[in-house]
Amino acid sequence: MNTALESARQSGTSHEAANIQVRHRLTQASLYQIGDINAGQAAAVFASARSGLGALSHYPLSARLQELRKVRDLIFAEREAIVDQLVAETGKCRTDALVSEIMGVMDYCDWLLRKAPSILSDQKVATPLALLGKKSRIYHEALGIVLIISPWNYPFHIGVTSIFAALAAGNSVIYKPSELTPLHGLLERLFAVSPLLRSALQVVYGAGETAQQLIAQRPAKIFFTGSARTGKRLLAQAAPLLIPVELELGGKDAMLVFDDVNLARTVAGCLWGAMTNAGQSCTSVERVFVQRTIYDAFVRMLKSEAEKLVVNAGDAGDADIGAITADFQWEIIQQHIQDAVAKGARLVCGGESLGDTLFLMPTIVESVNDTMQIQTAETFGPVLTLTPFDTEEEAVQLANQGEFGLSASVWSKDLARADRVARLLEVGAVSINNVMLTEGNPNLPFGGARQSGFGRVKGAEGLLGMTRSKAVIIDKQSKKIEANWYPYTHAKYRLFGRFMAALFGKGIKRWFGFAVSGVALENEAQKPR
């Protein structure tokens, strides 16, 4: 994945206002312009976020969720118009826009509305015996002002789900969408149904420069989804400011196919996993490893099915593979293919653009090795590589190669084997006999291992990541002096020895000692030196 900072660097964004031209991805018609902000503007954004902040976190969770429901309902009602805007700015096909972006958001939001009350409300926790009589609590408090930086591949889904979670938790959000797909005015319009939420959300448009200005204002936490390269740069800027960062970075996800699978279903899953959103998903299938015994049959069927995919954005939802959204990504994809072919890889199909358009034909490459970028770097296009393997160990070893570890899928009728393999894969998510499906369940956390980032979004874990937990313990008012308070005396020291032997020692009799020494200690504590 690639982002704001990165593309800004590539094109050497200047500091002038409105210097970024956003175009209709398919027609190249000019849509509108946005510009980077400067330090003063960033400070102003934070100032107004601060004024909105108190408001939201002081409302009870139930009220915040009630407000979120209004936005959810509006998204649902406006879905076709949102799809229009998504298709215009990304060039993706309508079904990708509707299903992955809108349906994904609806799913997550309904989960949030159902689950947030139990996840975010104050939590009672047990208090150990030694602290008898006290009560312990965890309060999941808002972090404050959080900065969410979202990428261009799922500009609506990633943006809105993060914003929803942050707002549910009571944060004030500064949201910077990718300058490639800003969806100008959309979130402002959708959130306007809830003035309360709207006051807690600042949408800031711009490229890398803007991101840097916002980070310099010290948000309470940064949530970044994008490329590993940009993620590292962002982390470097955040480190001296001690700003915590969650990074959802790229992947080179593997699909492992054993020879006991239903071929047709597996081929269909493989194609969808590799080509959905034109391959511009951080968890899309990029490397496919197939057991040698079925390798040839798999490749044959894959090729013939790939050739049926309709390359078009379509305007009625009946096209399969949409356009490549980012120009620099287009170049990376082409370069990966050229590099692979130059080093001896074989194109099973595709490998070429559709005329002079921004669509790439579905591409399948075999005879690849790790000297090729196509096998090691994130391609992020409708491209997959095929490699045969013989044994389970070899499959795991192949899949674990490389620096990424986002997600993977394992395909086998033998669920014990699939589970064994799943445990050995160094990734953040595994779908067994399915593909890219963990993202489909909002109960599950989402995030990677290794260079694919850290931190989790989605699931209880992800929602809690939007909070700071405050530990609270409650004691009664009394005249009682605690045993571990001053004065330290010989007698107390000895009694603590016995008390500990009772607490941590062995044997059933120790509980008697616990009671005796406990009472003795408490009495001793009330005495002056």
Partner 1 sequence: MAEIYDYVIIGSGPSGSVLAHYLTQAGARCLMLEAGKEYAADTFPRNEMHANTQLMWNGGMDASRDASLLFLRGKVLGGGSIINQCLLDRFDDDALDDWAARSGIHDFSTVAMARHYDEVESHLALHTMTRADWNRNAELYVDGFERCGMQWAPLRRGQKDCGLGNDCMVCLGGCPRDSKQSMLVTFLRQARQQGLRVETGFEVGQVIHGARHVTVFGRQNGQSRQVYGRKCILAAGALGTTQLLLNSGLGDRLPALGQQFNCHPQLMNVALFDDFVDAHKGAFQAVKSNDPRFRKQGFKLENVFAGPIAMALLAPGYGLAHQRFMQQYRHMACIEVAVRDATPGAIAIDAQGRLKITKTMHDADWQRANAGLHAVDAIFGVLGAREIMKSPIRIGLHLMGGCVIGDNGRHSVVNPAFEVHDHPNLLIADSAIFPSAPGINPSLSIMALAHRASEVWLGSYQTPATTAPLMAEASL
Stretch touching partner 1 by CB under 8 A, among 182-190, 285-293, 350-358, 488-496: 350-358
Catalytic residue among 209, 248, 366, 378: 248
Q: Say if residues 417 and 356 touch (Cβ distance below 8 Å).
A: no
Q: Strands across the sheet with 453-454, in order?
A: 201-203, 172-176, 145-149, 221-225, 245-248, 453-454
DSSP 206: -
Q: Which residue has the tokens 């269909």?
A: 268
CB environment 430-463: b (16+ within 10 A), e (fewer): bbbbebbbbbeebebbbbbbbbbbbbbbbbbebb
Residue 211 or 429 having the CB closest to partner 1? 211
Stretch touching partner 1 by CB under 8 A, among 311-319, 392-400, 409-417, 461-469: 311-319
CB-based burial of residue 18 (10 Å sphere; 0-12 exposed, 13-18 middle, 19+ buried)? exposed
Stretch touching partner 1 by CB under 8 A, among 4-12, 281-289, 393-401, 486-494: 4-12
For residues 515 and 529, what is the distance between their CA atoms, to the nearest angstrom?
24
Q: Which of 315, 370, 414, 482 binds partner 1 (CB under 8 A)?
A: 315
**Residue ranges in 321-340 that form contacts with partner 1 under rule CB under 8 A:** 327-328, 330-331
Active-site annotation holds for 349: no
Residue 87 or 119 having the CB closest to partner 1? 87
Q: Say if residues 156 and 109 touch (Cβ distance below 8 Å).
A: no
Q: Which of 6, 67, 179, 248 binds partner 1 (CB under 8 A)?
A: 179
Residues 6+ apart with CB under 8 A from 506: none
By the rule CB under 8 A, 16 interacts with partner 1: no
Peptide bond into 487 cis (omega under 30): yes
Chain mean position to CA 25: 25
C-alpha separations of 104 from 19, 48, 458 in Å: 32, 30, 11
Nearest approach in angstroms of CB 306 to partner 1 is 10
For residues 462 and 455, what is the distance between their CA atoms, to the nearest angstrom?
8
Q: Say if residues 515 and 503 touch (Cβ distance below 8 Å).
A: no
Q: Which of 51, 121, 304, 338 binds partner 1 (CB under 8 A)?
A: 304
**Residue ranges in 90-119 that form contacts with partner 1 under rule CB under 8 A:** none
Stretch touching partner 1 by CB under 8 A, among 273-281, 295-303, 314-322, 378-386: 314-322
The contact pattern for partner 1, residues 352-371, with x = CB under 8 A and - = no contact, is xxxxxxx--x----------
Stretch touching partner 1 by CB under 8 A, among 9-17, 145-153, 448-456, 476-484: 9-17
Stretch touching partner 1 by CB under 8 A, among 6-14, 97-105, 211-219, 485-493: 6-14
Q: Which of 68, 158, 186, 313 binds partner 1 (CB under 8 A)?
A: 313
Residue 87 or 234 having the CB closest to partner 1? 87
For residues 50 and 146, what is the distance between their CA atoms, to the nearest angstrom?
11
Residue 316 or 471 having the CB closest to partner 1? 316
By the rule CB under 8 A, 26 interacts with partner 1: yes
Residue 76 or 330 having the CB closest to partner 1? 330
Phi, psi of 363 (to 5 degrees): -120, 130
Helix (H/G/I), strand (E/B), else coil: 493 = helix
By the rule CB under 8 A, 272 interacts with partner 1: no
Nearest approach in angstroms of CB 343 to partner 1 is 22
Catalytic residue among 93, 109, 270, 282: 282
Active-site annotation holds for 78: no
Give me the helices (H) in 390-526, please. 392-399, 415-424, 459-464, 490-504, 510-525
Number of residues that bind partner 1 (CB under 8 A): 39
For residues 113 and 98, what is the distance between their CA atoms, to the nearest angstrom?
21
Phi, psi of 453 (to 5 degrees): 110, -175
Residue 208 or 442 having the CB closest to partner 1? 208
Q: Which of 20, 147, 256, 483 binds partner 1 (CB under 8 A)?
A: 20
For residues 389 and 289, what is the distance between their CA atoms, to the nearest angstrom?
6
Q: Say if residues 448 and 406 touch (Cβ distance below 8 Å).
A: yes
The contact pattern for partner 1, residues 199-238, with x = CB under 8 A and - = no contact, is --------x-------------------------------
Q: Which of 81, 239, 310, 415 binds partner 1 (CB under 8 A)?
A: 310
CB atoms within 10 A of CB 470: 11
For residues 449 and 399, what is the distance between their CA atoms, to the nearest angstrom?
13
Nearest approach in angstroms of CB 4 to partner 1 is 11
Residue 259 or 327 having the CB closest to partner 1? 327
Residue 21 or 523 having the CB closest to partner 1? 21
Residue 359 or 514 having the CB closest to partner 1? 359
List of residues contacting partner 1 (CB under 8 A): 7, 10-11, 13, 19-21, 23-24, 26-28, 179-180, 207, 304, 307-308, 310-316, 318-319, 327-328, 330-331, 352-358, 361
Active site amino acids: 248, 282
